[in-house]
């Protein structure tokens, strides 16, 4: 069965623009509901799909974080070129890392980081995430268990130097959090892995702004935009965006 690949999305609203960033092995589907929620409340929302994402794991493995970061920058520039002078950025997981990196390198009204790591500790963890994605994608394609196992084994044997680049971009961003001076909101699922929950506190402590908040979701894991408390997540993001110093 041919799988329809997700796409970048743009929901046109008012003058206030939000860049929405998904994670590694994720897709714009992780951010679309949040985008629609904010758009219904008059925000313009753009969610870029990173290179290699939303397609096979074999294609994803041919890309790396330098390309994905360029996709983020291109998404930011797209909003600028469309006439949106004021942009906030919201990201989850590696997209949360990218949202922090945007806050470090580009002018933004505010930064929302959701379940973002600040230390890249394990290439094996990244590889397992890619292999798990491969299994799920191939199952969705309708392949049988033997074919899936054989194809995943071939993929597992492939060298993946870009996975080290993933760790590097996480670590580099984590080291520069004090360069973020924009208002910052940190959202974190309490049921997420300890690396992420510890990172949430580190982000909150290290960004160099008095306008910052950390919110925990007691019943949520990693992808909180699709979890049990997603409606509260959407509301909290909206409330934070409304506190920013937007031009009238």
Question: Of the candidates 67, 79, 81, which has an alpha carbon nearest to the alpha carbon of residue 20?
Answer: 79
Closest CA to 181 of 231, 109, 123, 234: 109
Residue 171 has what DSSP assignment?
H
- Among residues 27, 56, 93, 182, which one is catalytic? 93
Active-site hit among 27, 71, 222, 236:
222
CA pair distance 168, 142, nearest whole angstrom: 35
Token digits of residue 201: 């506190």
- Residue 145: which region, alpha, beta or left (left: phi > 0; alpha: psi -120 to 50)? alpha
Q: Is residue 192 annotated as part of the catalytic site, yes or no?
A: yes
CB 170 within 8 A of CB 115: no
Q: Answer whether 194's CB lies under 8 Å from 123's CB.
A: no
Query: From the candidates 192, 199, 220, 236, which is the catalytic residue?
Result: 192
Cite the active site residues.
93, 192, 222
């Amino acid at each position: 069965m041919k799988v329809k690949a997700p796409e970048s999305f743009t929901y046109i609203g008012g003058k206030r623009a939000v860049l929405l960033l998904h994670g590694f092995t994720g897709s714009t589907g992780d951010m679309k509901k949040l985008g629609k929620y904010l758009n219904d409340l008059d925000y313009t929302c753009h969610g870029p799909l990173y290179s290699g994402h939303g397609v096979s794991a074999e294609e994803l493995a041919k890309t790396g974080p330098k390309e994905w970061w360029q996709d983020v920058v291109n998404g930011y520039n797209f909003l600028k070129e469309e006439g949106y002078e004021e942009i906030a950025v919201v990201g989850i997981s590696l997209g949360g890392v990218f949202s922090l990196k945007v806050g470090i390198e580009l002018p933004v009204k505010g930064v929302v980081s959701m379940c973002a790591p600040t230390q890249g500790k394990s290439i094996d963890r990244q590889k397992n995430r890619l292999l798990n994605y491969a299994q799920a994608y191939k199952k969705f394609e309708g392949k049988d268990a033997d074919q899936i196992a054989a194809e995943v084994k071939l993929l597992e044997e492939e060298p993946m130097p870009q996975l080290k680049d993933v760790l590097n971009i996480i670590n580099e961003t984590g080291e520069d959090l004090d360069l973020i001076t924009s208002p910052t909101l940190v959202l974190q699922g309490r049921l997420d892995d300890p690396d992420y929950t510890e990172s949430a506190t580190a982000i909150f402590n290290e960004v160099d702004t008095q306008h910052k908040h950390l919110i925990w979701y007691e019943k949520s894991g990693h992808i909180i935009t699709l979890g049990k408390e997603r409606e509260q997540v959407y509301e909290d993001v909206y409330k934070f965006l409304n506190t920013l110093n937007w031009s009238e």
